[in-house]
Structure 1
Amino acid sequence: MKRMLLVLVAALRLAAQGAVVEGRVADAVTGRPIRNAEVILRGLTRSGDPPDTDNYVAETDANGHFLVPAMVPGKYEVMASRNGYVRRIPGRPWEPGAMAQVTAGEGGHAVVALKLVPTGVISGRIVNLNGEPVAGATVEAMQEAYESNDSLAAGAVWWGLPAAARRQLQARGGATSDDRGEYRIFGLAPGRYSLRVAESRGIQSNFQAWANMPVPTFREMLYPAPLEVTPSGELRNVEIRVRPDLPHAIRGSVPSPHAPDFSIALERRGDSSGPPAFASYGTTEENFFFEGVLPGSYILSTTIHDPADRARALFARAAVEMVDRDVEGVTLQVVPMKTVTGSVSADGPLAFKFSNMNVELDPDNPDSPTLTARVAADGTFTLPVLPESYLLTRPRIAAAYFKSVKMGDRELPDLRVDFAHMNGPLRILLGTDVAKVEGVVKDAGGNPAVAARVTLIPAGAQKGWNGRLRFTNTDEDGKFALPVVAPGEYKLFAWLDAELGAPLDPEFRKKYDEQGLAVQMEAKGVKAVELHGIVTGK
């Protein structure tokens, strides 16, 4: 007994020397305590030598209670998780109440209350047109969402307008049908879903369908029927009928290739998730064929270089719709590629050589290739291009910005160049007279907002210069810094709960435009600001 008392006293003394965080985890719907939930306390304050953060783990008891004594004082994110409850979805903010931020001082005692939202389930059967079960089919629950860089750390800065500004269907969960054709997708956050089913047979499926619709052709799959998942709810008996898609062949020709060898790529249109199928042909071969091609939309393409002059090239492509039979007589239309010369220069000294840079242009046409050229030591480059419209995305320089981009004598403020109607060298001038904007983001209560997303949007005369867009996250003190900013007009926004890719979408920002802070950045200037976090309620 005496020993137990001594141990208890020692524990109390240890707790008194540090900080204490305790709390309760409850069901967000019923309010009942959640036992055996894992609670993680992630340190936001760096301490020690070398500086590092401190993390702790606890588990709730039968009353949903947890206690973490003898902690290193500082700021912490407190998060809870348990099977059957929503975990944070990548690219999306935390569910309300699922995460709390606390500051625990020396000898201090912080109390938090966390709430977890129960997940839902979708279950049913996969059958063929005769009502027979289909085993081994993969069923995915899909939601429309923005792509997002969910790993953006505090202090890291992203440049330009990425693909995150586009919404697309993303898988949130999945299951495989058993021998009775039955499937059960669990762990789904409440919300609206569409189901997609595909046979598990490699990258390309041999049948696909959408739930709750008449058996469609492949092209009709773009109109999914929504299913609403509720907390702790289960949508049962969702039956999906699939029509087997038999593989067929594509045959065609490339007129007069005049090359010793070249490759033709067959890719599913709008889907770059898997490697394309390739076929190679010799000097005299103009004809080609692909076998085992499943129904869908495809693009055939090839680049043919002149053996006498590798700088000269031809590009050929053709779109193919595979439905229920072989496709014959496909002719790849050959388009001569233009050779564009250009240069990269700077209005001041750079920390590295031009030879470490690439010039990169992304096509407006998704069926066209991305263009890349290596910059020589003297800043010049040569680029074979298609007579189409492209967006300049590189070079991206850590200490400079696109000050001027010209095609011939024409200025390209939106970094878009139309090679079909523009001629002349492509000249890229990098500016080194960069400005810096820094500050703090606060919530409605006037407290520093941790991990808020800050976006800097070009405005005024430079509106549309997507290469000058910047975004970052706040640190543990709600502070942020954007160190490489081109002089000019901008609007600053701070987002507390928006889907992480949403603030990069101009359509999404329209509703919140008046909540942005207008700033004028001067060359080599530094501006300090205070932003109020925007709550979208989404």
Structure 2
Amino acid sequence: MTRHAGALLLLVTVLASSAAAQPPSTGIVRGRVIAADTDAPVRKVRVALTPEGAPATEPIYTNADGEFEFMSVAPGRYTLAALKTGYVIARFGARSQFDRTTNIAVAAGVLVEGLELRLVKSAVITGRILEESGEPIEMALVSVGRIVRGDGRLRFRGLGAVANTDDLGEYRIGGLAPGSYALAISASGGGMAPRSLQTFYPGTSLITEARTLTLRPGEVASATDFTVRPLSDSQRVRITGYVTDANGAPVPARLQVITSGDGVVASSTSVVLQLPPTGEFTLQVEAGDQTLIAQGPSGVAVTRLGPVTADVSPLRLILTKGGRVSGRILFNGAPPPPRATVRVDAWNAELEDAQASRMINPPVGAMTVKPDGTFTIEDVVGRRELRVANAPRGWVVKAITHNGRNLLNVPIDFKSGEAVSGVEVLLTDKLSELSGTVADRQQRPRTDCSVIVFAENRTFLPGRARWVRPDHTGRFVVEGLPAGEYLAIAVADVDDVEWATVAYLDRLRSSASHVTIADAEKKAIALEWNGTP
């Protein structure tokens, strides 16, 4: 062996030994996908391992034994999901399509294995949408969802499963998990059918008469047909009234009438009328929730009527000078970063239907922040809550201050002509973190539960309530909570509709643990699992 060759061999040996001595910087995730009904492995399933809060990543496919393996996984928290045609999307740890998932915690040099995803065969709903004459309706929108109760009224909440009818009036919606569903349709003219009140399965315009359709795994619910009937007189109500200024004098105004569609967004309507100098109006509208917004030189008036089931007369709308909110938004004390499109909203529950309407831009109280960070919202009336939308990823609202008071998650009652200036909306990327473990009385980690963290002060609810699941090691993480006093509890099941309401959380208070979180603090706690329902 020459001297040069020996030196080269020695160098290679040293480099190899050095590389072997370096601890691994990534982890490995392994598991398998099986059929829920037979426990048989499922091949060619798309499996995605996605960093928490990040866009979906490129999936891999299971082998003939249903196995998958992700190599060189950077440390962090991930969601795991499996998708195959003919099956419901399987999300690791989620016990239903409405449940939170169980995250996978990956550490450097650690092998996470034994993960299992169970695929359930998906159900299908098919049918036809017909006019009363029996003629098919083309391009009717069919939506699958649930009917839930909130604020004392029933609303349709879509699940994102929709389909349009073809020229035969036929539709097909697949990929549905087993369960009970409501169906709603919206037919919208175009020479095919006059626009009608939304129709719920099995063919009623009243949400109170809607029935659910229960599906089993793999079931095809065919012949789920609807008949769209023209609105009858009993489905219309007359609203008569007038618009005045604050002194009671009649004034001309622009009146917008918004019909909510009972939560069926495609069925919400918006009609704008220019009223005469007398301010009088007569409306023939669909029975149900109505929002009336009047605007004129004297100001603005907002009234929500609902559910309207009988004629209303006389209805007086009093224009008052709307309030004004102005201020600036700061990112760690600095103006917004370039290309940020942050919006500040003066949110009002009564205007949710107006925001859903795409007909015109009503005074819903929203303003995109200017490049220098300033904003001004005009025509603010009634009870409002300042909120931030479109915050850049990784940034949360730390506080909304005015005259030394924090208005985050606190509603404000605006008086006529009131001006609230000097508001500072503070965003931060230095997030607080409440983490912890859930263990039973034998100190065994629990992953088959949920953790709810909520503000002790009811005024801050539902804005300061969080629902998470522990990861596969039994550890949970809640990021971005504003500083304050909180209660935390581990529970077996969570009502995915009511969980953030004051009434629901009040039932958990006596069993919850108290925790104080400071600004940007990272705190760890231990929760004991006792099977709390």
1:463 aligns with 2:471: no
Change (3 A) 1:448 1:344: farther
3-state secondary structure, aligned to 1:238: coil
- Please point out which of 27, 36, 44 is paired with 1:28: 36
1:211 pairs with 2:211 = no
Match of 1:516 among 494, 500, 512: 512
1:185 aligns with 2:176: no
Helix, strand or coil at the partner of 1:509? helix
Counterpart residue number, 1:194: 182
Seen in structure 2, the aligned counterparts of structure 1 residues 25 and 146 have a Cα distance that, compared at 3 Å, is farther
Q: Name the % identity.
A: 18
C-alpha contact (below 8 Å) 1:40/1:57 kept by paired residues: yes
- Contact 1:438 1:527 survives alignment (8 Å): yes
* Residue of structure 2 equivalent to 1:14: none
Q: Which residue of 2 aligns with 1:480?
A: 477
Indicate if the aligned counterparts of 2:434 and 2:523 stay in contact, CA closer than 8 A.
yes
Cα deviation for residue 316 of structure 1 reads 6.9
Residue 505 of structure 2 aligns to a residue whose secondary structure is helix
The alpha-carbon distance between structure 1 residues 357 and 43, as it changes in their structure 2 partners (threshold 3 A), is closer
Superposed displacement of residue 243, structure 1:
1.1
Cα RMSD for the two superposed structures:
6.1
Secondary structure of 1:400's match? strand
Give me the TM-score of the superposition, normalised by structure 1: 0.61
Task: Specify the alignment match of 2:320 in structure 1.
Answer: 337
Assess, with a 3 A threshold, how the Cα gap between structure 1 residues 527 and 300 changes in structure 2: closer, same or farther.
Answer: closer
Instruction: Return the letter of the residue paired with 2:316.
Output: Q
Aligned AA (2:40): R
Gaps of 5+ in 2: 1-23, 336-341, 355-362, 390-395
Q: Does structure 2 retain, via aligned residues, the 8 Å contact 1:42–1:56?
A: no
Where does residue 47 of structure 2 map in the other structure? 39
CA distances 1:18-40 after superposition (whole Å, capped 9, x unpaired):
97655432210232332322223
Q: Does 1:223 align with 2:204?
A: no
Corresponding residue for residue 81 of structure 2: 79
Contact 2:252 2:279 in 1 (8 A): no
Q: What is the Cα deviation at residue 252 of structure 1?
A: 7.4
State the match for 2:256 in structure 1: 265
Match of 1:66 in 2: 67
The amino acid across from 1:301 in the alignment is I
Query: Could you say which residue in structure 2 is the equivalent of 1:302?
Result: 294
Distance 1:295 1:395, change over 3 A: closer
Q: Which of the residues 504, 520, 525 maps onto 1:529?
A: 525
Alignment of structure 1 residues 74-473 onto 2, 5 Å: 77-87=79-89, 101=104, 110-129=113-132, 133-144=136-147, 168-178=156-166, 181-201=169-189, 205-206=195-196, 208-212=198-202, 216=204, 218=205, 220-245=206-231, 263-269=254-260, 273=265, 277=270, 279=272, 281=274, 298-306=290-298, 313-315=299-301, 333-337=316-320, 351=333, 360=346, 362=348, 370-371=364-365, 386=381, 390-394=383-387, 398-400=397-399, 415-416=410-411, 438-442=434-438, 455-459=452-456, 462-466=457-461, 469=464, 471=466
Judged with a 3 Å threshold, the aligned counterparts in structure 2 of structure 1 residues 204 and 509 are, in CA distance, closer, same or farther, namely: farther
Greater shift, 76-85 or 186-195, is seen at: 76-85
* Contact 1:317–1:333, Cα closer than 8 Å, also in 2: no
Listed one character per residue, the Cα deviations across residues 112-150 of structure 1 (whole Å, up to 9, x for unaligned) are 332111111233444444555555433322224699xxx
Query: One-letter code of the match for 1:393?
Result: L
1:304 CA drift (Å): 0.9
1:342, distance to aligned residue in structure 2 (A): 8.7
Instruction: For 1:123 and 1:231, locate their aligned partners in 2 and report how far apart those are by CA, in whole Å.
Output: 15
Structure 1 residue 233, shift from structure 2 partner: 2.0
**Contact 1:27 1:116 survives alignment (8 Å):** yes
- Superposed CA offset, 1:482-534 (max 9, x none): 566444x4202467874766542334435544553212457997743234689
SS at match of 2:207: helix
Distance across 2 between alignment mates of 1:535 and 1:456: 17
- Measured at CA, do residues 392 and 78 of structure 1 come closer, stay the same or move farther in structure 2, by a change above 3 Å? closer
Distance (Å, rounded) in 1 between the aligned partners of 2:433 and 2:70? 40
Q: Residue 57 of structure 1 aligns with which residue?
A: 60
1:519 to 1:141, Cα distance in 2 relative to 1, 3 A: same
2:3 counterpart residue number: none
Tell me the residue number matched to 1:157: none
For 2:37, give the aligned amino acid. V
Q: How far apart, in 1, do the equivalents of 2:287 and 2:375 lie?
A: 45
8 Å CA contact retained: 1:342, 1:426? yes
Aligned residue type for 2:513: L
CA distance in 2 between partners of 1:295 and 1:102 (Å): 51
- SS in structure 2 at match of 1:222: helix
CA distance in 2, matches of 1:44, 1:402: 30
Matched residue SS, 1:237:
coil
Q: Is the 8 A contact 1:441 1:494 kept in 2?
A: no
Distance 1:435 1:184 in 2: 45
TM-score by length of 2: 0.62
Note the C-alpha offset of 1:344: 8.5
**Inter-CA distance 192–254: structure 2 relative to 1 (3 Å threshold):** same
The answer as to whether partners of 1:338 and 1:384 remain within 8 angstroms in 2 is yes
Deviation at 1:374, TM superposition (A): 11
SS in 1 for 2:297: strand
AA aligned to 2:38 is T
Measure the CA separation in 2 of the matches of 1:336 and 1:67. 64
Distance 2:148 2:201 in 1: 19
**What is the total number of aligned residue pairs between the two structures?**
466
Q: Which amino acid aligns with 1:242?
A: V
Output the CA distance in 2 between the equivalents of 1:427 and 1:143: 42
Residues 440-470 of structure 1, C-alpha deviations (whole Å, 9 max, x = no match): 34466855969x97654222xx333338725
> Alpha carbons of 1:416 and 1:204: their partners in 2 closer, same or farther (altered >3 Å)?
farther
Q: Please give the secondary structure, in 1, of the residue aligned with 2:434.
A: strand
Instruction: Between the two structures, name the one with larger relative contact order (CA 8 Å, sep ≥ 6).
Output: 1
Pair 1:294–1:136, CA change in 2 (3 A): farther
1:49-78 CA distance string (max 9 Å, x none): xxx9996612332xx433437545757654
Q: Please state whether the residue corresponding to 1:31 is helix, strand or coil.
A: coil
Counterpart amino acid of residue 346 in structure 2: E
